[in-house]
Amino acid sequence: MRTHAPDIFRISAVLSISALALTACGGDGGDNAANADEADGDGDTAAPEAAGELEVWVDADRADVLADAASDFEDDTGIAVNLVQQDFAEVRDQFVSQVPTGEGPDIAVGAHDWLGVLVTNGVVAPVELGDAAEDFEDVAIEAWTYDGQVYGVPYSIENIALLRNADLVDQAPDSFDEMIDLGEESGASYPFLVGLDAQTADPYHLYPFQMSFGAPVFGQNSDGSYDAEELTIGNEGGVEFAQWLSDQGEAGTLSTNIDGDLALENFVDGESPFLLTGPWNVPAAEEAGINVEVDGIPAAGDQEAQPFAGVQGFFLSAQSENTLAATTFLVDYVGSPEVQQSLYEVGGRAPALTESFESAMAEDDIVAGFGEVGAEAVPMPAIPEMGAVWDYWGASQAAIINGEGDPAGLWEQMSEDIAEATE
Amino acid sequence: MAVTAPGSTLIAGEQTTAVGSARLRRQRYPRAEKPALARRPFKKWWRETGWRHLVGAGVVVFSVFPLVYVLSASLNPGGTLISANSLFSRVSLGSYVELFNRPQQPYAAWFLNTLFIGLTASAGSVLLGALAAYAFSRMRFTGRRVGLITLVLVQMFPQLLAMVAIFLLMMGISEVFPAIGLNSQIGLIMVYLGGALGVNTYLMYGFFNTVPTSIDEAAHIDGAGHARIFFTIILPLVSPILAVVALLSLVASLSEFVIASVLLRDPERQTLAVGLFQFISQETSQNWSVFAAGAVLAAVIPVALFLLLQRYIVSGLTAGSVK
Amino acid sequence: MAGETTSGRPKQRAAARRMTRRQKQASTLIDATSSGWKLMLFKIVVLGLLCATAVYAALVLFMNQRWLVGSLVIVGAAGLTWIYLKRGALPAKYLAPGLVFLLIFQIFVVLYSGYVAFTNYGTGHNSTKDHAIQAIMLQAQERVPDSPTYEVSVLEDSGELLSTDELYLAIVAGDGEVLIGSEDEPLEPSSAATVQDGRVVAAEGYDVLEFNELLNRQTEITDLSVAMSEDPNAGYLRTQDGRRAYVYTSRYIYDEMADTMTSSETGTVYSDTGEGAFVADDGEQLLPGWRINVGLDNFVNAVTEDSIRGPLIYVTLWTFAFAFLSVATTFALGLFLAVVFNDKRMTSRKYYRLVMILPYAFPGFLSALVWAGMMNQEFGFLNNVLFGGASIPWLTDPWLAKVSILIVNLWLGFPYMFLVCTGALQSIPEELTEAAQVDGAKAFQAFRSIKLPLLLTALAPLLISSFAFNFNNFNLVYMLTGGGPRDVSAGVSVGSTDILISMVYKVAFVGAQADYGLASAFSILIFIIVGTISVLAFRKTKALEELN
């Protein structure tokens, strides 16, 4: 072995040199691309020519719809749109960690309540919709506005409403108590259902009732945005709401043992005339042959029961090198009635573009039902501290419903904890 | 090369023992067992195997029961995961059909990818781990003990930042070798191989230790080189643990989600863990039934591998050979 | 094996001396036989490819000015070549393949966490200062309220020779007048321009860029700000898509020389005071900031963090109890089953074994969710069927939740232990156990005195690492109880099933905002705790190991 060693070195040297030669060939490919760029720069080419590529992160359901818009865009501009399928739930964190590396996309799908985190991290760029902003539903633009700037193009509005089994109860209730009465009269096992988690209840689903007691989580600025400094959750209405929660828990109308799945299953089996939920559960109920009607959410307090609205859309990366193309794609293609219509058809949520919204409302009772409630909805707060807010909020609600202490005391404690977390 | 003969004699001897014990088993069972079951007094049967069946029944119920929910959900399209009222109230194969009819979510491709990635990573882990375990078990060198402990310590590091770190690393690799960087299955397999030296090495190490060094020494004297001894003598002797480690690594790579979801972007290249999760990750469009159906089919992979490897795992080859 | 005495430490020399003549003889033989020509050729090819790849990688890296990484690649490849060409160094030859992957993929994660622990990486401090400035400037562009939308054209100087790269924006003002301006020159009226459909289509001395030309110069165009007039308060014109332009003012003015941001509304000056963000005199930070090195701050915060200090002792105790009990229960059950089904007289054992693999074959979080459903207080299978309608608060009582989490972990973990024990049992010679099969009592005795010590020797490291795994078993806790139930009236977000790692997660990610720096510091602290314990445990098992 010893005697052979020098030979080995020689041979491996030869091999590495031949590999270098291969490398050099590989390098040529890159040069060609560069040449092509130069050719473009001359501006002689009249026909649109691929000048770059847009990377768009999109979830599986949206991918099909955008594929059409993408190919139109490529035909019109010569810019290819590379649709990268991502899991919706992963997009936010991936976007935050990948944009700074330069590997991130130009555009990504998302929900408006991510904006706080995205803006604070400086990974999204504002999109000036210009006059087009007026073509969208107010709540959609309001939701996608953060700190005075619109950060993307919304496409759908999502909110909860009251599903009613019309075979069990034939009239829409006007108040929470009336709903319970109607539900009990119907003879079903549960007068009313809403899915609650044993540990964290569900502040999102219970929010309309809280609002009906006049206890929004934050104060709102004149432009509709939230003022995280002004915490209103612990006001008098909030304490009343806490008492109400405790009463309902005791009466059994709210139970943290009935989670979302159980609630849906019981509704689908005709065990309850009412279910407070979003459009995502409607298909299951309809497939099971339930005669579903969508009603407004009955108030428990003396004010209107406004739910939260979640608005989905597409946002633009702050590090995009194709801002011009990306903006064009967002405003003129994603924001077009055709695309909004097809996004609506695949997702079943009310479109954000008013024109599409109205046509969807006209043609589908269910969408119309949710849309009517949604028109009154308030956008979910998007401030980055919401993680902590949901956390305290939910745990306290669960404790109150389960009767673990004095409702008012627990609620006030929660308000203090939230105040500390949002400081 | 001329030294093959003695080595192979040794292996042949090995096989004889194995075959011998198998023959023994074969003879024992047909003759003794079946009639014995009828004739053997109940008390004796109970003491020898009967109680074991009772334990087995208990374990089967414990193991399977939660999975019945999964099976039930998979047969109930549009249904929920946890059914309060009755299992199997509706039975339809709709979710299984749907699984293969979603162009955006190519289940069949995920399945094959998982198979490829899982098997490759598993085979690689076994090889790398066995090499290291052999070194730790048979050789004495500076830092051996520290090295052994370090292997386990490294695995104890909380992986809160693994996602960010691995992404940065693979991005760097992409710059140089795009084919094994981001969005490549080879890249993912390499990351999995990063964990090849670790707990499993220890497992193999312990097992190697039970193989008497006299076997190696005999082979040395017969003129076999270290590589030959390792591959043709030691490895066959430790096949039970190799099979166990192969299975453990396969299951680990099968259920690994975080890194696979960061590295593999293209749906056609994703693994089952990443792909299936999409069906339920969004609270507002969860499809438990399809997810459950996918999980049931995915479980076929480890189960099939176990069936394949079972005879190695329980063969007891060494038992015959050592003494 | 004799070749390994590369270092001259006395200990090692003693070890070498201890080697029998036979071993020395054997090692000479190894070297003699391993240099067969086939092996040699194989080595040459593999090492050659390796070196070639490394040289290529290093060249690419050097071209990208990544000197350190490039050098590491070269050193690594040279090291590997040396190991495999050198005589002897057998342990290195066997260890190297696995170590390469370990070093690249695992050690890197550890080092990266170590590095992040000394930075302020987290929400609001996500990238570089340049990115932060760019993002602030983007976010600060505020469209002047009620200002019109302009159909804009992008122009460049015409004339082949004189042409500069300068870009111009041209708009048609409300009164029909054409205005042209650039980054350096505010908008000025221009008379020699052709307007069509409210848009400038030609202008003397300029070429109007077509859409595909716009695309080639996207960044330049979207970065372009053209002042509306000499008056800086009049705002400036910007376009994001090359066709529509709006008048903006900026909420912040960045002064490159002084490195400060000045609010145009309040005049507040934010300056870089080394905190990783622009900070006003009153301490207000302008986010996004950027990543900086913060020294030991994260460690100090980790140790002094209020929300953790209260429940820390409690959580640490429970973490130990959880990890220990998880290992103990899964190992006990796994071992018991492995022994029970290791009896050759039981022909049906392979079916039982197969069934026991099943819990291991399904995604853990799916199982955890099913268990959570089965443990539902009112409707769960456990209460409704097994306990005949009892109302046992499996997941909502602080103590029962602990029991529940252990039960679920037992279910999830026993197949692993079963497999491992089954495998390990095969290494114990049958003869030793023959005696054990004589009768029940004796069998157990024999098992305890003969098999168990042998098994423990082989499995002790595995148990230790299983302990460490459960010590950090974030997924289970998060899936099953989310750390709850928690005492809301106490005002802490830590619940009674939270273990250290899930508590850290809450503090670093859920609490206020994601704080990777703090999380890393915690990771390191936890690692030190569990690592120390493990090393101590290893010391204990050393005695056991020597037995073999």
Q: Looking at the structure, tell me whether residues A90 and A207 fall in a common domain.
A: no
Name the B residues in 86-125 with CB < 8 Å from any A CB.
Answer: 102-105
Look at residue C16 and tell me whether its pLDDT is greater than 70: no
Looking up tokens 């376009």 gives C239
Inter-chain residue contact B182 with A103, CB threshold 8 Å: yes
Look at residue C528 and tell me whether its pLDDT is greater than 80: yes
In chain B, what are the domains? Answer: 4-32+97-322 (1.10.3720.10)
Q: Assess contact for C193 and C176: CB atoms under 8 A.
A: no
Treating both helix axes as pointing N-terminal to C-terminal, what angle do C398-425 and C452-471 enclose, rounded to 10 degrees? 140
Please give, rounded to a whole number of angstroms, the shortest distance from the CA of B114 to a CA of chain C.
Answer: 13
Give B165's contacts in chain C (Cβ within 8 Å). 108-109, 112-113
A406: domain CATH number? Answer: 3.40.190.10
Q: Looking at the structure, tell me whether residues A261 and A174 fall in a common domain.
A: yes
Please give, rounded to a whole number of angstroms, the shortest distance from the CA of A28 to a CA of chain C.
Answer: 14
C69: domain CATH number? Answer: 1.20.58
Distance CA A336, CA A135 (A): 10
Please give, rounded to a whole number of angstroms, the shortest distance from the CA of A294 to a CA of chain C.
Answer: 28
Q: Is B266 on the interface with C (CB under 8 A)?
A: no
Q: Looking at the structure, tell me whether residues A263 and A363 fall in a common domain.
A: no
Q: Is C284 on the interface with A (CB under 8 A)?
A: no
Q: Is B271 on the interface with A (CB under 8 A)?
A: no
What mean pLDDT comes out for the span C214-225? 86
The alpha carbon torsion through B124, B130, B132, B133 (nearest 10 deg) reads 150
Give the Cα-Cα-Cα angle B95, B96, B97 (nearest 5 degrees).
Answer: 90
Instruction: Take residue A40 and report the two structure tokens written for it.
Output: 């473009």
Q: pLDDT (tens digit, 9 = 90+) per residue, B232-270?
A: 888 888 888 888 899 989 988 888 888 888 888 888 888
Which of C90, C110, C411 is nearest residue B157 as measured by Cβ atoms?
A: C110
Q: Which residue of B has its CA nearest to A60?
A: B104
Treating both helix axes as pointing N-terminal to C-terminal, what angle do A203-212 and A386-401 enclose, rounded to 10 degrees? 80
Please give, rounded to a whole number of angstroms, the shortest distance from the CA of A117 to a CA of chain C.
Answer: 7
Q: Looking at the structure, tell me whether residues C136 and C231 fall in a common domain.
A: yes
Q: What are phi and psi of A163, to 5 degrees?
A: -90, 135
Name the B residues in 86-145 with CB < 8 Å from any C CB.
Answer: 127-129, 131-132, 134-135, 139-142, 144
Q: What is the overall mean pLDDT for chain C? A: 82
Examine residue A2 and state whether it is found in any structural domain, yes or no: no
Which amino acid, C397?
A: D
Note the pTM of the prediction, 2 decimals.
0.84
Q: Is C159 in a helix, a strand, or coil?
A: coil
Q: What are phi and psi of A311, to 5 degrees?
A: -115, 125
Q: Is A384 on the interface with C (CB under 8 A)?
A: yes
Q: Which helix (H) or strand (E) holds B190?
A: helix B185-193
Q: Report how far apart, in Å, the C-alpha atoms of A249 and of each of A213, A256, C258 are.
A: 17, 8, 61
Q: Report how far apart, in Å, the C-alpha atoms of A309 and of each of A59, A138, B276 are.
A: 20, 12, 28
Which amino acid, A207?
A: Y
Q: Assess contact for C83 and B219: CB atoms under 8 A.
A: no
Distance CA A304, CA A210 (A): 10
Long-range contacts of A219-223 (CB under 8 A, 24+ apart): A220/A378, A223/A142, A223/A145, A223/A148
Burial (CB count <10 Å: 0-12, 13-18, 19+), residue C541: middle
Q: CA gyration radius for chain A?
A: 27
**C460, C467, C425: which is closest to C538 by C-alpha?**
C460
Q: Give the side-chain half-sphere CA count within 13 A for B66.
A: 27
> Which pLDDT does position B117 carry in this prediction?
95
ipTM of the complex: 0.82
Q: Is B289 on the interface with A (CB under 8 A)?
A: no
Specify which residues C112 forms β-bridges with. none
User: Which one-letter DSSP state was computed for residue A173?
Assistant: -
Q: Which residue of C has its CA nearest to A147?
A: C139
> Which pLDDT does position B234 carry in this prediction?
86
Q: Is A261 on the interface with C (CB under 8 A)?
A: yes
Q: Report how far apart, in Å, the C-alpha atoms of C24 and of each of B226, C84, C356 are.
A: 13, 21, 47
Number of folded domains that form chain A: 2
Distance CA C19, CA C1 (A): 9
Please give, rounded to a whole number of angstroms, the shortest distance from the CA of B32 to a CA of chain C.
Answer: 10
> Which pLDDT does position C384 carry in this prediction?
84
Which amino acid, A240?
A: E
Inter-chain residue contact A265 with B85, CB threshold 8 Å: yes
Instruction: Return the partners of chain C (3 or more C-beta pairs < 8 Å).
Output: A, B
Q: Which domain holds residue A90?
A: 53-158+310-379
Instruction: Take residue C48 and report the two structure tokens written for it.
Output: 């050659």
Instruction: Take residue C28 and report the two structure tokens written for it.
Output: 């000479």
Q: Is C221 in a helix, a strand, or coil?
A: helix
The alpha carbon torsion through B43, B44, B47, B50 (nearest 10 deg) reads -80
Inter-chain residue contact B274 with A87, CB threshold 8 Å: yes
Inter-chain residue contact B80 with A261, CB threshold 8 Å: yes
> Which pLDDT does position A54 carry in this prediction?
92
Which of B79, B266, B278 is nearest residue A60 as measured by Cβ atoms?
A: B278
Distance CA A382, CA A48 (A): 40
Give C485's contacts in chain A (Cβ within 8 Å). 199
Which of C34, C95, C461 is nearest residue B226 as measured by Cβ atoms?
A: C34
Q: Which residue of B has its CA nearest to C95?
A: B132
Q: Assess contact for C240 and A127: CB atoms under 8 A.
A: yes
> Which pLDDT does position B237 carry in this prediction?
83
Q: Which domain holds residue C47?
A: 34-116
Distance CA B279, CA B285 (A): 8
Q: pLDDT (tens digit, 9 = 90+) per residue, C73-118?
A: 999 999 999 988 887 788 888 999 899 999 988 888 899 999 999 9
Q: Looking at the structure, tell me whether residues A225 and A342 fall in a common domain.
A: no
> Which pLDDT does position C24 carry in this prediction?
53
Q: Looking at the structure, tell me whether residues A393 and A315 fall in a common domain.
A: no
> Which pLDDT does position C504 carry in this prediction?
85
Instruction: Take residue C329 and report the two structure tokens written for it.
Output: 């229960």
Q: Looking at the structure, tell me whether residues A194 and A300 fall in a common domain.
A: yes
Q: What are phi and psi of C234, to 5 degrees?
A: -75, -10
Q: Residue-wise pLDDT tens for chain A (423 aa)?
A: 333 333 333 333 333 333 333 333 333 333 333 333 333 333 333 444 445 789 999 988 888 889 989 999 999 888 899 998 888 888 988 899 889 888 889 999 999 999 999 999 999 999 988 888 899 998 999 999 998 889 999 999 999 999 999 999 999 999 999 999 999 999 999 999 999 988 889 999 999 999 999 999 998 887 777 887 888 999 999 999 999 999 999 999 999 999 888 898 899 989 999 999 999 889 888 888 999 999 999 999 999 999 999 999 999 999 998 999 999 999 999 999 999 999 998 888 889 999 999 999 999 999 999 999 988 899 999 888 888 899 899 999 999 999 988 999 999 999 998 988 887
Which of A78, A122, A200 is nearest residue C288 as measured by Cβ atoms?
A: A122
Look at residue B320 and tell me whether its pLDDT is greater than 60: no
> Which pLDDT does position C488 carry in this prediction?
78
Distance CA A181, CA A158 (A): 28
Q: Looking at the structure, tell me whether residues C105 and C172 fall in a common domain.
A: no
Q: pLDDT (tens digit, 9 = 90+) per residue, B88-101?
A: 877 888 889 988 98
Q: Looking at the structure, tell me whether residues A230 and A266 fall in a common domain.
A: yes
Q: Is B83 on the interface with A (CB under 8 A)?
A: yes
Q: Looking at the structure, tell me whether residues C146 and C89 fall in a common domain.
A: no
C363: domain CATH number? Answer: 1.10.3720.10
Distance CA C473, CA C203 (A): 69
Distance CA C180, CA A200 (A): 59
Percent of chain C with pLDDT over 70: 88
Q: Looking at the structure, tell me whether residues C106 and C138 fall in a common domain.
A: no
